[in-house]
Amino acid sequence: MIGKNILCIIPARGGSKGVHRKNIRNLGNKPLIQWTIDEAKKSKYISRIVISTEDKEIEEVCTEIGAEVIKRPIELATDDSPTIDSILYTLNILEDNEEFTPDYVMLLQCTSPFRTVTAIDASIETLLSDSKNSKSLISVTKEEHPPWWLKSINADGTLKDFILYDKKQYSRRQSFPPVYRLNGAIYICDINELKKNRSFETDKTLAYIMDSYSSMDIDTEEDLSLAEYILKKFSKNTKLI
């Protein structure tokens, strides 16, 4: 792993519908975004950490805690702006202004406060140990509710199977094969693959499995309240903090 230049980008826009000013709302004793910055700083492998934002207050908060900030245009920070556009914009700024081009790009979203440096470094090790075959990695968590149980509703109000399956064979939740969902916590990709595909997902993307607590995503006020409860309930000696 020596010699691999890994750039960590943490996108943080000012607008948020679910939780007002979410990225700088306090969780525990610090702003939400600082949970991710602090863990990224502990990494053995991350070469550089950059915050991408259009928001002046977020910039000030991040600068105060010692994080590097690259401003992005307001048009890359709307509700409809794809995250990948802000990632590629940041990469272009670094290449044009500093001739800095990393080998890998890691995306850490600040809405995953319980994702630890252990997971960050383990995911990097997982990808780099299989770099000849795989060019990207995305974190996931086990889905507790089988997607085969999803239903649509007909015009007359009756239920209809969204996915057809053998109900005799799969009568219990434990009967279904395990499935996983993206948890939004960790994304890593080879720089060339990222630019070519404009995505962290490639034809052969590795999975890094995380537990449900570490996978917690702050998207609503209820999520934030639950995270506060978890912090109060569990001590700092647990794996959650």
* Sequence-separated (6 or more) residues with CB below 8 Å from residue 169: 175
Amino acid of residue 15? G
| pLDDT at res. 240 | 47
CA distance 107 to 138: 10
Q: Taking the alpha carbons of 92, 93, 97, 100 in that order, is the dihedral positive or negative?
A: negative
- Indicate the domain borders of the chain: 6-143+179-233
- The CB-side HSE value for 236 (13 A sphere, CA atoms) comes to 2
Per-residue pLDDT tens digits for 26-36: 999 899 999 99
Residue-level pLDDT at 162: 92
CA pair distance 95, 81, nearest whole angstrom: 22
What is the pLDDT, as a whole number, of residue 93? 97
pLDDT at 1: 53
Which stretches of the chain drop beneath a pLDDT of 50?
237-241
Q: pTM here?
A: 0.90
Tell which CATH classification among 1.10.132.50, 3.40.50.450, 3.90.550.10, 3.40.50.720 matches the domain 6-143+179-233: 3.90.550.10
pLDDT number for residue 2: 59
Burial of residue 234, with CB atoms counted within 10 A of its CB: 0-12 exposed, 13-18 middle, 19 or more buried? middle
